[in-house]
Structures are given as C-alpha cells and as structure tokens.
Amino acid sequence: MKFGVNYTPRIGWFHSWLDFTPDHVRADFDAIASLGVDHVRIFPLWPVLQPNRTLIRQRALDDVATVVELAHERGMDTYVDVLQGHLSSFDYLPSWVNSWHRRNIFSDPDVVSGEMALVEALASRLRDVPGAQGLSLGNEFIQFAADRHPEQHKITSAQAHDWLTQLLGVARTVWPDATHVHTHDDDIWFDTAHPFDPASAVKFGDATTVHSWVFGKVGPRFGRGSIQLEWFSRYLCELADAWGQAYGHTQRPVWLQEIGSPSNYVDPGDSAQFLTANIERLMGVHGGGTAPNLNAITWWCSHDVSRSLADFPELEHTLGLCDSDGNVKPIGRAYQEAVTAWQDVEPVSIDRPTLTIDLSSQTRDLADAHHTFFDQWMEQALTGKVPQIAINQIS
C-alpha cells in the first residue's frame, strides 16, 4: 500500500508558484517526509504555467521539476496535476478561456490544442526527472462541466470521453512508462446529469481515482460525527471497483487520491480518530478484508491554509496534517502511525457477501447516500460483513 500527501504549501498556499522559493518547499517536505509517506501530489496553477495559449513558461516548468527533485531527495515520489483548474473552492482558469475570450474548455478545438500542448510540455520536462511518476489531468476538473457550476462549460458524455482520450493520449505518447490519471469528485458516481460518467472514471487512465469528502451527501444526511462518515471512503472505493468490474476491468488499481477531515462534519479534536477509523476500514480491520484493488491512499492535505489568507471556507484552515506554522498536528501523528502500521502489509482478500444493484449512467444516483442501496450496504458493513458491490448495468 502506498501512502502519500496532497501538498499544500505552507507559505503563500498555491499562490507561492508566483514567487517560487525552494527553501520553503524544502522545509515543508521535511515535515511531510517525517510522516513516512512515499509520495506527494502537487498542483502548479494553470495560468502560471500557460498564461497564453501559445506561451508555456519554461521557468514555470523548471519550478515544477525542482519540486519533484526536492521530494525525491527526501525519498518521495511525485504525481503532478496539469490543469489547475480548481482548488479549495477557487477556480483558476487562464484569461484566454474567460470573459471576452470565453470558450468551452472541453470541446473548443483551439483550447483543447492548448491543453494538449501543456500536457506534452509537462510530460516532456518531467519524464526524466528522478521521482516523477506521472500526471493527473487536473484537480476535479470535471466540475466545470457540472450543472451546479456557476459558469458551466456544457458538453455531452461523448465529448467528455473525447477530451479524456486526447489529453491522456498525449501523456501516454510522450511519457509511456508513467502513471497517468484524471481526477473527479463523487459527482461522477452519483450525478445522473453529469457528462463525465462512471465509464469515464474506469475506462480512461491507468487507475480509478476516488475523492472522498463527507460534506457532499453522507454528512448532510447522517450528521456530524456519525459512524457512516467513517465508512464513506470504503463505500466509494467499493463502488469504484464495482464499476470497473462492470466494464470488465477486474484488476484495475483504485487510488484514494483525496480524503480529508472537514471541520463542518468532523470536529478538529476528533480528526485523528477519524483518520485512523477510515484507514482501518479501508484495510479491513472492521471486516471485509482490504478494499478491493486499492493500492494508494493520499491524504488531503499537508498543511492548514494560513488564516492570513482571506475568503476560504472555514474548513480549509483546519484540513492539514501540519498547522500553518509547520508543526505536525495530532492528525499528522495518527497518519504517521497508520503508515508505519500498514505500508508493508499485503492486501487481504476474503470471501464476502455480494450486494447487487441495477444501474446505468442515468440511474447512478441510486447508489448515493440518500437511497436504499447505501443503507443496505451500510447495515451489513456495520455488522462486520462488508459486502462486495456488484453492478448490473441496465440499458
């Protein structure tokens, strides 16, 4: 099992890419490495990398490579997100797709060609850098296509698949021996109107990524501190694997790429226990063996957002394994203990009961936390008989 951290710079947050300071990264990485993790995921901002469609800044690419090198010096691999995109409630789109130049970021041929050029540039710059492991297309980039987005870039599922094919195809061609994925929130599993469907998650890229956030539906339904919150990451990983099985991908890796302890549903004083409980359930301590095909857990995030920065949702100031002064918090110590306990343990598969649901892309909401199937799965999981999910696809 791989254990990693999503890196949020302590000084300047992601705005630090504007005045990149390697010494700040060194200090942050020293704290992260002390937790025993083997990888980090990093987030260069799209407008900093590519301020004009035909201008990709070599200095910015070199800064990304430097971060990868600094992680490698501390024994950590690095995965790099390309299109940022979206981070912690803020959107970062370059000026050449906004306002007077607004064009669809998924379907406009010129925009897509620019995005492909950035994927190619990052892949070319990083492929020979020690410790560089691959690219993610962007952080929950699909949210721009969601009906709930205030400035939606509307597309069809066919266009979503075409976009993934083009960008991941460039990454694979330029950097064939790396791990390339795309990332998404749980809309991909639960929002029937979303053009990025479960097939997008399990048929494109080298692993199925999962982002587990309890503030979506499970928290609002069951409430702060409920036991269901501690099982939600396991449920999502089971569901992701089940969709992979439904499409014939029996051994496809599942990467729990984001999971965090948001203060609106988990009291900060309980965050260490919440982390431990989630990982124990993923690893099978409370029944069910190891979550199927799970091969990596990457916690969100490394450092709290400083309160000197304005307009963030309150929870962003408490999500870190380290505080904004760089000190490891109790939740960070809990992660360190979990890494020590589980990193060398082989996954355990056991015979389990199967819980079957009939779904299609247009009925995927029936698997969310507001429907009977979730309750059935949870009821069995709470008895220690964690069921395997099977999906019968219906036309």
Distance (Å) of CA 10 to CA 4, 31, 183, 315: 17, 11, 23, 16
Enter the tokens of residue 220.
């609002």
Q: Does pLDDT of 394 surpass 90?
A: no
CB atoms within 10 A of CB 36: 15
Q: Which CATH number covers residue 10?
A: 3.20.20.80
CB 164 within 8 A of CB 202: no
pLDDT tens readout for residues 158-174: 999 999 999 999 999 99
For residue 369, being part of any structural domain is answered with: no
- Output the pLDDT for position 327: 97
* Average pLDDT value over all residues in the chain: 97
- Give the separation between CA 377 and CA 331, rounded to whole angstroms: 28
Residue 129 lies in a domain: yes
The answer to whether residue 364 sits within a structural domain is no
Residue type, 124: S
In a domain, 277, yes or no: yes
pLDDT above 80: residue 346:
yes
- Domain assignment present for residue 394? The answer is no
- What is residue 79's three-state secondary structure? strand
CA distance 253 to 260: 21
Question: What amino acid occupies position 272?
Answer: A
Position 146 scores a pLDDT of 97
State how many domains the chain has.
1
The pLDDT, as a whole number, for residue 364 is 97
User: Is 212 a domain residue?
Assistant: yes
Per-residue pLDDT at 393: 87
Task: Measure CA of the first residue to CA of the last residue in the chain; give whole Å.
Answer: 36
Strands 388-393 and 2-6 turn out to be unpaired
Considering the entire predicted model, what is its pTM?
A: 0.97
Q: Tell me the per-residue pLDDT of 60-106, one tens digit each, with 9 for 90 and over.
A: 999 999 999 999 999 999 999 999 989 999 999 999 999 999 999 99
Condensed to tens digits (0 to 9), the pLDDT of residues 3-53 reads 999 999 999 999 999 999 999 999 999 999 999 999 999 999 999 999 999
pLDDT in tens, 299-323: 999 999 999 999 999 999 999 999 9
**Residue 106 forms part of a structural domain:** yes
For CA atoms 44, 148, 314, 309, give the dihedral sign.
positive
**Which pLDDT does position 235 carry in this prediction?**
98
Report the pLDDT value the prediction gives residue 239, as an integer from 0 to 100: 98
Model confidence over 98-145: pLDDT tens digits?
A: 999 999 999 999 999 999 999 999 999 999 999 999 999 999 999 999
Query: Which 3 state secondary structure label does DSSP give 175?
Result: coil
- Can you give the residue range of the structural domain that contains 256? 2-347
Q: Is there a domain that residue 357 lies in?
A: no
- The pair of three-digit structure tokens given for residue 370, joined into one six-digit string: 């507001």
Which tens digits make up the pLDDT trace of 245-281? 999 999 999 999 999 999 999 999 999 999 999 999 9
